[in-house]
Amino acid sequence: MDTSMAVLAGPASVALGAKVCEELAVTPTVYDARRFPDGEGQIELGESVRGRDVFVIQATSPPADVHVMELLLLADACRRDGAERITGVIPYLGYARQDRRSSRRSLGARVAANVIDTAGLDRLVVIDTHTPAIEGFFASPLHHLTAVPLLANATPVRDDSVVVAPDLGAVKRARQYARLLEVPTAIVHKTRLDGEAVEASDVIGDVRGRAPIIIDDMLSTGATIAAAVTAVRARGAVDPVTVVVTHSLLVGHAREILPPLGLAAIVSTDTVAIDPPANLRFSSVSVAPLLAEAIRQLHVTRPW
Residues annotated catalytic, as ranges? 190
Strand-strand pairing, 31-35 and 185-192? unpaired
- In 65-160, at which residue ranges do the beta strands (DSSP E only) sit? 85-90, 123-127, 142-145
Cα–Cα dist 78/298, whole Å: 18
The C-alpha atoms of residue 253 and residue 262 are separated, in whole angstroms, by 16
CA dist 57 and 87 (Å) reads: 9
Q: Is 290 helix (H, G, I), strand (E, B) or coil?
A: helix
What single string gives the DSSP state of each residue in 18-66? HHHHHHHT-PPPPEEEEE-TTS-EEEEESS--TT-EEEEE----SSHHH
Rounded CA separation 171/120 (Å): 35
The H helix count followed by the E strand count for the chain is 8, 14
**Under a CB-based contact definition with an 8 Å cutoff, are residues 131 and 151 in contact?**
no
d(CA 259, CA 277): 9
The SS3 call for residue 297 is: helix
Please give the DSSP secondary-structure letter assigned to residue 133. Answer: G
